[in-house]
Amino acid sequence: MTAAATSPIIVALDFADAAGALAVAGRLAPNACAVKVGKELFTAEGPALVRELVGRGFRVFLDLKFHDIPNTTAQACAAATRLGVWMLNVHASGGSAMLAAARGAVDRAAAAAGRTRPLLIAVTVLTSLSADDLAAAGVADAPEAQVLRLAKLAQAGGLDGVVCSSREASALRAACGPDFLLVTPGIRPAGADVHDQARTATPAEAIAAGADYLVIGRPITRAPDPQAALEAIQRTLGRIA
């Protein structure tokens, strides 16, 4: 699935409260993007905010990066599935048993609810981490090698894909095949501020490297016209004229 059937852009709603997130969401067309709800926003507003976005027609990526013992992670994934999210994630470093438990829980919860199961992906190496950061944590390998190791672990556990930076996308596509989803944060249009991301790429570069979905936040959410900023990025990808 190297070319997403729908819009590849996931807009990161990285806000402190529902008011800010919904204000931006209200200026975006639900059929033009998915939206991401992360830890700050979910902690502040909880499931009600997710339900609101789903009710407005958005595909919601719940980015909570679950990482715990297998049973706890499984129950959290089941709860997220019942919320109606389109995508959720866990940390691949939680290990094979945790990944298998998450996979099974998502499948069972979706079947019980009579809904299409959400995509379940794994976080490999956070895009804010450099080789020095990994070394300080006891990981001797370069980020690319660690990403590949964790991606293969996730694929063996039946997950749909991984979060990775654009720098690893080409190698992962070659190693994991065409049907393994690659979700790429750290995306910045040409000339934009990289903020706190250590490994970045433009949207076109990421897609060319093999990414399926692009997580883009501030270049869209802080723009004077978020929909116009979204459409400008889509034009660089040849998605709209």
- Residues carrying an active site annotation: 65
Would you state the structure tokens that stand for residue 102, as one six-digit string?
Answer: 């998450």
Check: CB of residue 210 under 8 Å from CB of residue 173. Answer: yes
Distance CA 140, CA 95 (A): 19
What's the Cα-to-Cα distance from 204 to each of 42, 93, 208, rounded to whole Å?
30, 29, 6
Distance CA 150, CA 203 (A): 24
| Dihedral sign from CA coordinates of 195, 185, 187, 47 | negative
Distance CA 78, CA 70 (A): 12
Check: CB of residue 206 under 8 Å from CB of residue 175. Answer: no
**How many residues make up the chain in this entry?**
241
The residue type found at 86 is: W
Of the candidates 238, 149, 168, the one whose C-alpha atom is nearest the C-alpha of residue 210 is 168
Of the candidates 12, 48, 51, the one whose C-alpha atom is nearest the C-alpha of residue 33 is 12
